[in-house]
Structure 1
Amino acid sequence: MNRFMEVLENILMPIAEKLNNNRHLTALRDGFLIALPLIIFGSILVVIANFPFLDQLIGEDAYAAYQAALGPASASTLSIMGLFVIIGIGYKLTASYGVEALYGGVVALAGFIILTPQTFEGVEGVIPTSTLGAEGMFVGILTAFLAAELYRYFVQKNLTIKMPAGVPEAVSRSFSALIPIALTLSVFLAIRILFSLTPFDSAQNFIYTVLQEPLTALGSGLPATIIAVLMIQIFWFFGLHGQILVNSVFDPIWYALNEQNLSAFQAGEELPNVVTKQFIDTFIVGMGGSGMTLAIVLWLFMLARSKQAKQLGKVGGPPGFFNVNEPIIFGLPIIMNPLILIPWLVAPVVIAVITYVTMSIGLVPKPAGIIVPWTTPIFLSGFLATGNAWQGAVLQLFNLAVVFIIWFPFLRILDRQYFRNEVEAEKETTNADNKQKSG
């Protein structure tokens, strides 16, 4: 076991360190976080607009008017989430170079608009919202990276207009950004012209056909999902935030799949994907945090004998209910603890398979594309993520029981170790006290 851990550490630690320190992956992660409040707002309104049985209570006409009134909330947030992510990535990446970050976000958005076809069903000057959401996500991410890099390069090469002293700072900044922005957007205009001369016609079509479609198909499958889940667990085992590291790579895929499901859910069509952002966040991470440690909290609270384990169950319970599990990860501990490596790796994979199978065969509805805040407690999150379906909550309860069973023997061994150590410590304390009294 020690040799195996040593090999894993030698292989994974350098990779994890590079991923964690990579400015582009960090900007990608932070770009999604900037968009998250807007995405959650739109998702909440989708839930409110699709309350179960509401059409039967108020009538179909009133229900249609009700949905039409709330529809703009999701249309102006979820349907165009790519725009917010682009601005966020451009802003964060530019800021990492110490350059004026706001212009980095703005030029990224402008570069994306230049590359986006502005024709819809023969009408000029119209941008279809599909290209601003999931379909255009990959182009947006690549555009934001390139735009921020070009802009900061031109700025750092001092290709700027220097205004004389006494000019207001806001005016001076605008003129300083003029040449770098003009050069950056000229590059994107040239790219658009070049793609118009190819069979793909646009960068959007090229990226979607060559890159996004194959990656999305790969990311929607169970094997890739299992690999992602395992990597999250392994990184956490070595003390690295696995969720952040893995999400930096998989989030563009999972969010694109999420958006496809949301569009189908709102249109009343069959949901195309099982694996989405909410598949991971709600049915794996959303049960106490990474590793589904709510089951561990319950075991410690109900069955532990040692004082240490009982106290940890009490401390880890309240935050664990809201999917914050640092007390368990560092207090059990999980990090670098060979005794719990097996359940730590096995349980999430088993749950991923169970969840995938039950949704694939229709026993439980697929995630509806509704972004549920990651702190939403278990059962409520499962209900909301599946489009207000009770089966989602029941599946979470079943999964929790499975995780509890998998962890049971390992936690019992760990608890016995703690209990023996406490008994021995008490004996040593008693003996020391007796010696002092006799002396």
Structure 2
Amino acid sequence: MNRFMEVLENILMPVADKLNNNRYLTALRNGFMVALPLIIFGSIFVVLANLPFVNEWVGESAWSAYQNALGPASAATLSIMGLFVIMGIGYKMVEQREGESIYGAAVALGAFLILTPQLSEFVLDDVAHEVGGVIPTSVLGAEGMFLGIFAAFFAAELYQYFVKKNLTIKMPAGVPDAVSRSFSALIPITLTLTIFLVVRIIFSYTPFETVQNFIYTLIQEPLTALGSGLPATIIAVLLIQLFWFFGLHGQIIVNSVFDPIWYALNDQNYQAFVNGTELPNIVTKQFIDTFIVGIGGSGMTLAVVIGIFLIGRSRQLKELGKLGGPPGIFNVNEPIIFGLPIIMNPLTLIPWLLAPVVIALVTYFSMATGIVPKPAGVIVPWTTPAIISGFLATGNAWQGAALQLVNIVIVFVIWWPFLKIMDNQYYKNEQEANSK
């Protein structure tokens, strides 16, 4: 095993070093770090506001009041985390070149908002209505992240380009520094945002109408063509993981296409379960949510948290385990995704992609052979902890809980050498820092 880890480290570390020196990837990773405290805060309150089965104990009225009271905590942070990430990327991109980084954050946010349609749709009395001058919070979060990342990259680059060309207003001596810097940024910001406005106008004359629709269509159409079944499920799981690796909310992107399919299959199983007939489907919504996502969140990171507690020597991993452990029990894993980090970290790419695929195969064939009952179609709250959720999703069958335990062990084994490498690296850095 030591020899294997040595070979793995020799292969991955040069790649990691090369990627870490890429300023776009560095800005992307550091931009997410800016948003991390807000993400952790929102994650905690998501868990608190969605504790499973509490609504059945306190009644719907009290439960609704409780959720409404805690809702703004996540709505103002986790739900619009795209805004914080965009500002962080713009800030870090300009900071790398020793520019006025605060204007990098401002121009990145402005560029994204220019490309974002200020229009919301709602249905009232079966009639669709549109309201202008508003931006749905969904596009400020995970849905708009892909557009936001590239908007931040291009906006920061354009801003710096115009600054380097000395397209700035020089104020005379004696003018307050804040005023001077503001006027210095005026022309670069104006030119940058004008370009983004032109892009928006151009897209308004295309069939896509908006840049967001263009991106969504490019992602949606290939996914829709996949259909259902095990091969499509494997592809869907891989895409979820791959999108997350690049900082995009993979579940929202992929589920927007597959959810109608998975929910329909789920309902077929539920009807068969109620009628006492054979369950027709293995892959359903609960197959994904309970046995893949529902073990700590996307990528089944509950096993990663367990691994951190068992093998972690570095202070960085130990503190991350303390932060990510409690939310991870309830399948909220943003602290692990952004704190380990998993995003843009080549050391995590192999286990991040491999583990869910292996678990999907193990779960599928366990159910296909009859060792574990198929999902009964019961909708289990997504915050229900593992073991309990597996028991409920399979119609109160102990085999479902046992399968989740087996899955946790498998994921831990896959992650173990990679976690060990990261822990050794962090520990070495900490020891070197302490010795100075």
Please, which of 128, 132, 135 is the counterpart of residue 143 of structure 2?
135
> Quick one: distance in 2 between partners of 1:358 and 1:159?
60
Aligned pair in 2 of structure 1 residues 248, 352: CA closer, same or farther (>3 Å)?
A: closer
Q: Quote the offset at 1:174 in angstroms.
A: 0.6
> Quick one: distance in 1 between partners of 2:304 and 2:199?
40
Q: Quote the offset at 1:363 in angstroms.
A: 8.6
> Quick one: distance in 2 between partners of 1:31 and 1:70?
27
Aligned pair in 2 of structure 1 residues 116, 49: CA closer, same or farther (>3 Å)?
A: same
Alignment of 1:62-73 (within 5 A): 62-73=62-73
* Contact 1:134–1:256 (Cα < 8 Å) also in 2: yes
Q: Quote the offset at 1:224 in angstroms.
A: 8.1
Deviations 1:272-322 (A, max 9, x none): 965669322624533314xxx93xx5xxxxxxxxxxxxxxx9x68996696
* Contact 1:287–1:396 (Cα < 8 Å) also in 2: no
Please, which of 250, 254, 259 is the counterpart of residue 254 of structure 1?
250
Look up the match of 1:207: 215
> Quick one: distance in 2 between partners of 1:76 and 1:100?
27
* Contact 1:136–1:204 (Cα < 8 Å) also in 2: yes
* Contact 2:302–2:408 (Cα < 8 Å) also in 1: no
Deviations 1:215-240 (A, max 9, x none): 8999x9535867999xxxxxxxxxxx
Code of the residue aligned with 1:126 in structure 2: it is V
Alignment of 1:17-416 (within 5 A): 17-121=17-121, 122-211=130-219, 214=222, 222=234, 249-254=245-250, 256=252, 274=289, 278-280=297-299, 282-289=301-308, 294=310, 297=311, 323=321, 349=354, 353-354=358-359, 358=363, 362=375, 397-399=405-407, 401-402=409-410
* Contact 1:260–1:272 (Cα < 8 Å) also in 2: no
> Quick one: distance in 2 between partners of 1:98 and 1:62?
53
* Contact 2:307–2:412 (Cα < 8 Å) also in 1: no
> Quick one: distance in 1 between partners of 2:413 and 2:9?
28
- What TM-score do the two structures reach when normalised by structure 2? 0.61
Deviations 1:131-151 (A, max 9, x none): 112221111111011101001
Deviations 1:155-212 (A, max 9, x none): 1111111111111111111111111110110001100110011111111111111247
**RMSD of equivalent CA atoms:** 5.1
- What TM-score do the two structures reach when normalised by structure 1? 0.61
Aligned pair in 2 of structure 1 residues 347, 398: CA closer, same or farther (>3 Å)?
A: farther
Q: Quote the offset at 1:74 in angstroms.
A: 1.9
Unaligned runs of 5+ in 2: 122-129, 227-231, 261-266, 268-284, 323-349, 368-373, 418-436
> Quick one: distance in 1 between partners of 2:74 and 2:233?
27
Aligned pair in 2 of structure 1 residues 252, 383: CA closer, same or farther (>3 Å)?
A: farther
Identity %, equivalent residues: 54
Code of the residue aligned with 1:250 in structure 2: it is F
> Quick one: distance in 2 between partners of 1:138 and 1:127?
17
Code of the residue aligned with 1:185 in structure 2: it is L
Deviations 1:78-111 (A, max 9, x none): 2212111111111111111111111111111111
Q: Quote the offset at 1:20 in angstroms.
A: 2.1
> Quick one: distance in 2 between partners of 1:407 and 1:88?
29
Deviations 1:48-97 (A, max 9, x none): 11223322332211111111222222222222121111111111111111
* Contact 2:94–2:160 (Cα < 8 Å) also in 1: yes
Aligned pair in 2 of structure 1 residues 402, 135: CA closer, same or farther (>3 Å)?
A: closer
Unaligned runs of 5+ in 1: 230-245, 298-312, 325-344, 371-379, 411-439
User: Secondary structure at 1:123's aligned position in 2?
Assistant: strand
Code of the residue aligned with 1:130 in structure 2: it is S
Deviations 1:307-353 (A, max 9, x none): xxxxxx9x6899669659xxxxxxxxxxxxxxxxxxxx899946752
Aligned pair in 2 of structure 1 residues 365, 137: CA closer, same or farther (>3 Å)?
A: farther
Aligned pair in 2 of structure 1 residues 48, 83: CA closer, same or farther (>3 Å)?
A: same
Aligned pair in 2 of structure 1 residues 357, 119: CA closer, same or farther (>3 Å)?
A: farther
> Quick one: distance in 1 between partners of 2:352 and 2:145?
32
User: Secondary structure at 2:166's aligned position in 1?
Assistant: coil
Q: Quote the offset at 1:9 in angstroms.
A: 8.8
User: Secondary structure at 1:280's aligned position in 2?
Assistant: coil
Q: Quote the offset at 1:383 in angstroms.
A: 8.0
User: Secondary structure at 1:161's aligned position in 2?
Assistant: coil
Aligned pair in 2 of structure 1 residues 248, 397: CA closer, same or farther (>3 Å)?
A: closer
Q: Quote the offset at 1:124 in angstroms.
A: 1.3
